[in-house]
Structure formats: C-alpha cells, structure tokens
Amino acid sequence: QSSVISDFDFFYFVVQWPGSYCDLKKACCYPTLGKPASNFSIHGLWPNYDDGTYPQNCDPSDTFDYSQIQDLIPQMNKYWGSLSCPSSDGTDFWSHEWEKHGTCSGGLSQHEYFAKGLALIKSLNLLGSLQNAGVKPSSQATYDVSTIQKALGSAIGFTPGVECNTAANKNNQLYQVYICVDKDAETFIECPVYPNGKCKPSVHLPTF
C-alpha cells in the first residue's frame, strides 16, 4: 500500500460541516485563531481508486513543511482549520493530510496540493445552494437527504456523496460531503464510486 509511485483514479474532495463535528459527545476545540465561520470547511483532498480503495502514506520521506505553504496560511486558516482537540493552529491537521493523502496525489508539490484544495472550496457556494433549497442551519429542522444532495449537486454539477454522524442528542446530521474531482485536482466529475458513509432519509444541519 505504501509506494512512492502514486497512481490513483480520482480525488474525493471532502468538506465538513463544523456544527456536526462539534455537536458530538466527543468535544471539538476551536482553532487558536478563534471560532471559524458557520460554513463548510476542508477536511481533505484524497486520492482514491475507482474500486473504493485508496493509497495512503505514499512517501514517508516527504514530510510536511510549513515554510512551503507560508503564503497560503491566511487562506488555510479560513478554509482548512482544525476543530480537533486540543485547540491548534492547524499545522498537525495539514501535516496529517499531506503525509497521508497529499503524498499520493501523483506528484503535486505541497504548495500545489493545498492551493488546489483552497481553489476548489472557493469555487463552490455549498451553503448558498442549500439555502436556495430552503435548507438552513437549525437546531430543530430536518430535511430530506435527497433535497440536500440535489441542492449540493446543483452547486457542483454532479451529485456528491454525503456522510452523516450522530449528535449527542441522537440526531442524524450532515457531517461531510464527498465531492469527486478529476486527477487534475480541478475538474468536478461524476463520482466513479460513492463512499461508505450514509445518511438516514431525514437529516439535521445543526447550527454552529
């Protein structure tokens, strides 16, 4: 599974809803810079195979180097912050994503890898597309998962995969969206395979 030669078929561009990461029994912690916006943020850009498996940790010698993405840090803080505990400046999260996934991205440099992820999220108005479909963050409301997928699909051009988790109060809530991207790390494509994560028919989008 570990190889310097990183062939793969496509990327999952995975974004998370902060309200659903934090609304669990497990605590979340805001980044050292403060509470992020109530909007989707990046989890990762993950090389994947069409059969659903994926390469990881393709080049252990190519460790994360903060200095290579120095110019991207303000945008990284805005779009790719870490909500895990303890509070952090994101470096551990970015390091994990680069070393596990980025090193398998077919030769992208660290700077290219993170810049592509940032460009992808900036090109999408996921929250706006949900709002247009009447789906807005709420502690009470539930939405049909098909409404959510259709709305997100209208922003992307293709239907994404959706993954839900279970809140401390047992609500089924939208946690992550899996958006399929061509090997160029730029072009949205129809998903060759959908991830395992599932949602129940009725979904919450908790406030954050």
Is residue 28 part of the contact set for ligand 5GP (CB under 6 A)? yes
Q: Looking at 46, 98, 188, 208, which residue binds ligand 5GP (CB under 6 A)?
A: 46
Q: How far is CA 128 from CA 18, 93, 154, in A?
A: 16, 27, 11
Contacting range for ligand 5GP; rule: CB under 6 A; set: 90-98, 109-117, 124-132, 149-157: 90-98
204 is catalytic: no
101 is catalytic: yes
Rounded Cα gap, residues 189 and 51, in angstroms: 16
**Cβ neighbours around 37 below 10 Å, total:** 12
Is residue 160 part of the contact set for ligand 5GP (CB under 6 A)? no
Rounded Cα gap, residues 204 and 164, in angstroms: 9
Rounded Cα gap, residues 14 and 191, in angstroms: 13
**Catalytic residue of the set 43, 99, 163, 204:** 43
Q: Looking at 5, 85, 119, 141, which residue binds ligand 5GP (CB under 6 A)?
A: 85
CB of residue 45 vs ligand 5GP: minimum separation in angstroms? 9
Q: Cβ neighbours of residue 135 under 8 Å, at least 6 residues apart? A: 143, 147, 148, 151, 205
Residues that bind ligand 5GP (CB under 6 A): 12, 16, 21, 24, 26-28, 43-44, 46, 48, 54, 82-85, 93, 96-97, 100, 195
The residues annotated as belonging to the active site are 43, 97, 101
